[in-house]
A and B are shown apart, each in its own frame.
Chain A
Amino acid sequence: MIGSISSEMILAILPEIVLLALVAVIFVVDLVVSDERRGMLATITAVGLLLTLVLTALFSRPGPEAVLLWGGMLRHDWLAFIFKIIFLVGALLTTIFTIGWEPIWRKGEFYVLLLTSTIGMTLVGASGDLIMLFLAIETTSIPLYVMAGFLTRDDKSNEAGFKYLLFGAMMTAVMLYGFSLLYGFTGTTNIYELTTAIGAGEIPAAVLVGAAVLVLIGFGFKVAMAPLHFWAPDVYEGAPTPVTAFLSTASKAAGFAALTRVMVAAFPSITLEWTTLVAIGAALSMTLGNLIALSQTNIKRLLAYSSVAHAGYALLGVAAASELGVASVVYYFLVYVVTNMAAFGAIIVVYRVVGSDEIADYAGLHRRQPLLGLVLLLAFLSLAGIPPMGGFFAKILVFAAAVEAGLIWLAVLGVLNAIIGLYYYLIVLKVMYVGESKDADKPLPVLRPHSAGLVVSVVALLVLGFVFGPFYQWAVSSASALF
């Protein structure tokens, strides 16, 4: 099928190639390294991911025109490229925060799973074909199921892994059924040929809507859109925190990459129907996520519900189904990945010393470690959408997209939700800054790699909140690749 392999084709999958090589390296090192030096596994993974990130940014940049490569399986465009960057940043920060997390950071297989999942994500973002997309989603998800249940002696982790696997498998099946309907009626699996086939107008609208609903259910599950969010709190709480961080950022972003691409490309003829569904999903996610987050006492569960709410905000951009809308989604995730990583990084640092994820145990944190308090402050304010953090501009963009698309009710609901969000973020900050604790004078040491990861995330979220130009340009390029 493939006549000759051009350098363009190789460069397009450069990140995947490097990551695969990295997987091989980890396998080998894992076999030969002695027990006391196993810490180097994390270091190798981190360095490898950094290298991949640099190589991708330098050599894997798409041209101005999107191209279909590898027999139409992959689409090399800006959307794919930016999301690859997002996934790699997510994986890199996750790796950094696993350092020192017993026992996973001494296990080679954990990093193999992490990297495999990352490969899957980079392919999800670039898939131009339903078959490829399905395979990529499975490559992403299966390692994630294992990672969620990685602590085999911990009941909660087991429960998380098992729950995620069962629900995930079922929802993937639903999505696959949607794909099969599309294939059955159009005779093609290529996302971009689908458009033409559907445009010919021979497919009954009811079937199309049905397929769109099924596909939406599948993606909705991946991004934790209400009412398909039910798995998220238990999985987020039970999984080892670095895995939670990865799930809530990179994995969610992957869902959005596929969601925007497929919906915009395959269903232009029923835009009104699917955007209405997405708008309802957005409204439910924001409202349910924020309302339930109010009553949480565990910080991981709190962030789980907050991440449901954030999926809702980002869905605002999808529901707008416009260039500004897609650009806003991309920008949202650029911000969200570093913001959530900063928040989870801080949680990991606290857990290492305090041994608890209860919000009440954050009392007096600011006195114990003022700079860590500052990191959490900035991350939470960014989540709440306060300038000069990136969350502010991201939120303005999604609201602007909704207003532009005439979804005023959704924008108003969104801003009301932003207020609820601010409330529970402030509660955590209050505990941290105002709460009194008998441990207040005990120091709270932070590992060096962790501080590095936190500093990088915080600087990134401030830069994204102040210097919009280049990043917004990325987002716009990504959006124009779809329209």
Chain B
Amino acid sequence: MEIPYILSAIVFLPILAGAAMLFFPPERRQLIYRFALGTAALVFLLSLVVYIGFDINGEQYQFIEKYDWLPALGISYYVGVDGISAPLVLLTGVVIFTGVIISQRIEDRTREFFAFLFILASGVFGVFVALDMFALFFFYEIAVFPMYLLIAIWGWKQTREYAAMKLTLYLFIGSVIALVGALAMYFQSGLGTFDMVRLATEVSFPVEFQNLWFPFVFFGFAILGGIFPFHNWSPDGHVAAPTAVSMFHAGVLMKLGAFAALRVGIMLMPEGAATHMPWIILLTLVNVVYGAFIAMVQTDFKYMIGFSSVSHMGLVVMGFATLTRDGFVGASVQMVSHGVMTALFFAVVGMVYDQAHTREIPKLGGLVRIMPFAAVAFIIGGLVSMGMPGFSGFIAEFPIFMGVWRTYPWIAIIGVVSIVVTAAYILRAIGKVFFGDLPAELEGHMHDIKPSEKLALGILAVILVGIGLFPGVMVPMVESGVDAVLGLLGGA
């Protein structure tokens, strides 16, 4: 099924809506909110159409659009999705939609908030669908800068300025370093094109070249994926950001890094990847295990989720680092699974904080009686996080560990420790926050969440359970994408 211009519509609709919003009268908050919600719903539907319309037996890239942008330098506006990026487009659609739903409480400069959020969304969609390296960087950097303002203006007062700056600089460093690598590839190829499909299929860069430049490109992007030791912007950023931005940031933005590292790094320089992955996988092991332990000692609810993201994103990169089919499939599913799960976590944390005005886990308790729906949703997320069978986390993590087991068994053995640790901190948090007794000082201040918020959590939870019970809705699509990528790697 081919629907013309659908990807362009997904990419440009948010940014155009965002730009239009800047000219709305600022005091008409309801109007702005409805407009934002309508746009987000439309984008969500379009991304769903792409997901459903993707033919897993068809070409590698589908819904392709290609126009010359600057032919003199071989730059084109070239977009399309494969089996790996189509689920990510859907993920972005889901998170922007649910993120807007739960952002009803933004009262300070509402129009700017949604405008920047939508600009961010456009950048993210652009990266997921870009098949031209220039376009990829173009959208990547569009996705980076609105984060600064979103966190600095609407974030948590204590740390927002520090966290926003740290995050922006880390991500910008990554992007410009990767850019130098990309330019080196552009000139080395001799094709005079930024077309990644051609660069991947028609050129094979010399091994020394790949060995030199692979780390530039890979780490440049992997910083955004939260790879150790460049991960510590991420928990700070998550915590300082307003709820919708945390959801977007942990849920989608970190996937950008992992995805671009795959698209530009591994796919274009497979031999460089083969050379460097043995030590990169060690870094990801640190991510997975260390991240989980750090999460365990947090008393701040949001920091705990933030470090759990570091741990789970480590699994994504670890899956890629195995350079095996299982690893790739698991990592790709994990991107979606973790994206939805984390969005759900941050949404619940935001709802709790809005009412309780504290995120200290020891000061909370008994919330299951007040907001049962949120509690159930959080528990589902927790089960996903632990990799329980029947939930999407299992579908994702099991193949990753299989891939790792085949290549570096002892890393798999150490890595599974993280599952135990994760179970420990998640169960403890659930027990403390949702069960037990409601602290006296919160008595009377708490009430149930709104129906619209239930809808948002419901959507997220249904996806997590859906993938877990019916892996067929996503795994075959991802496998088709992974098989095409492995074709490039020559079974490396």
Contact = CB atoms under 8 A, between A and B. Distances in A.
Contact of B184 (A386, A403, A468): A403
B184 A422 contact: no
B123 to A, nearest CB: 9
Interface string A393-421: 00010011001100010011001101100
A388 B138 contact: yes
Contacts of B70: 468-469, 472
B320 to A, nearest CB: 25
Contacts of A419: 169, 172-173, 176
A97 interface: no
A377 to B, nearest CB: 8
A415 B22 contact: no
Interface string B115-139: 0000000000000000000100111
A387 interface: yes
B184 A408 contact: yes
Contact of A434 (B72, B142, B152): B152
A403 B141 CA distance: 20
A224 interface: no
A433 B138 CA distance: 25
Contact of B176 (A403, A418, A423, A429): A418
A468 B183 contact: no
Contacts of B186: 400
A366 B111 CA distance: 13
A358 to B, nearest CB: 19
B228 interface: no
B179 A433 contact: no
A400 B72 CA distance: 14
Interface string B67-78: 001111101000
A204 B138 CA distance: 48
B253 to A, nearest CB: 16
Contacts of A422: 168-169, 172
Contact of A399 (B75, B134, B144, B179): B179
Contacts of B176: 415-416, 418-419
Nearest to A327: B72
Given A415-B177, A418-B176, A422-B168, A403 B161 contact: no
Interface string B172-198: 110011011001101100000000000
Contact of A473 (B72, B142, B177): B72
Interface in B38-75: 69-73, 75
A434 B169 contact: no
Majority SS of interface residues in chain A? helix
B190 to A, nearest CB: 12
Contact of B180 (A404, A412, A426, A433): A412
Contact of B149 (A388, A411, A433): A433
Given A419-B172, A469-B70, A429 B149 contact: yes
A472 B72 contact: yes
A476 interface: yes
Interface residues of B, number: 38
Contacts of A412: 177, 180
Interface residues of A, number: 32
Contact of B141 (A392, A423, A426, A469): A392
Given A423-B169, A433-B152, A434-B153, A386 B141 contact: yes
Contacts of B160: 434
Nearest to B75: A468
A388 B134 CA distance: 12
A113 to B, nearest CB: 39
Given A386-B145, A426-B165, A433-B152, A415 B180 contact: yes
A374 interface: yes
B22 A387 contact: no
Given A399-B183, A403-B187, A404-B187, A430 B161 contact: yes
B152 A430 contact: yes
B26 interface: yes
A429 B186 CA distance: 34
A381 interface: yes
A412 B144 CA distance: 20
Contacts of B144: 386
A421 B205 CA distance: 33
Interface in A349-408: 366, 370, 374, 381, 386-388, 392, 396, 399-400, 403-404, 408
Nearest to B173: A419
A329 to B, nearest CB: 16
Contacts of B173: 416, 419
Contact of A387 (B69, B112, B141, B153): B141
A416 B165 CA distance: 16
A441 to B, nearest CB: 13
Contacts of A433: 149, 152-153
Contacts of A416: 173, 176
Interface string A463-476: 00000110011001
Nearest to A411: B180
Contacts of A404: 187
B138 to A, nearest CB: 5
Given A403-B180, A415-B177, A434 B172 contact: no
B148 interface: yes
Contacts of B137: 387, 396
Residue of A387, A400, A411 contacting most chain B CB atoms (<10 Å)? A387
A298 to B, nearest CB: 21
A468 B69 contact: yes
A392 B123 CA distance: 14
A388 B180 contact: no
B138 A387 contact: yes
A60 B183 CA distance: 36
B179 A426 contact: no
B169 A415 contact: no
A53 B196 CA distance: 41
Nearest to B165: A426
Given A399-B183, A422-B172, 16 more contacts: A374-B22, A386-B144, A392-B138, A399-B179, A400-B187, A403-B184, A403-B187, A412-B177, A429-B149, A433-B149, A433-B152, A434-B152, A434-B160, A434-B161, A468-B75, A473-B72
Interface of A: 366, 370, 374, 381, 386-388, 392, 396, 399-400, 403-404, 408, 411-412, 415-416, 418-419, 422-423, 426, 429-430, 433-434, 468-469, 472-473, 476
19 contacts: A387-B137, A387-B142, A388-B138, A392-B141, A396-B183, A399-B180, A404-B187, A408-B180, A408-B184, A412-B180, A419-B169, A426-B168, A430-B152, A430-B165, A433-B152, A433-B153, A434-B161, A468-B75, A469-B72
Q: List the 4 closest pairs (A to B, CB-CB), nearest first.
A: A415-B176, A403-B183, A468-B70, A387-B138
Interface of B: 22, 26, 69-73, 75, 109, 112, 134, 137-139, 141-142, 144-145, 148-149, 152-153, 160-161, 164-165, 168-169, 172-173, 176-177, 179-180, 183-184, 186-187
